[in-house]
Amino acid sequence: NGSCGFTDEIWLRILGILGDSKELAWSGAVCRRWYRISRDAQLWTAINITGIVDACKLAELFKVCRINL
């Protein structure tokens, strides 16, 4: 079942070792339990978007977010 007898807290620690947000997102494809655990807010404190979004689009996004806050 993909759990190896570990608790969700142990899996959170294991998945927390993954340094890349892409790896973390892909880990959610293993099974439903890993999907749920991989979406935990504790794991998503920072996201590296280098090479994904250019600086101009990011600046526009921040401007829109500030307006809607």
pLDDT per residue as tens digits for the range 36-46: 998 898 888 77
pTM: 0.59
Q: Are 41 and 14 in contact (CB under 8 A)?
A: no
Show the tokens assigned to 61.
């996004």
CA distance 53 to 69: 22
List the chain residues with pLDDT less than 70: 1-3, 19, 47-53, 55, 67-69
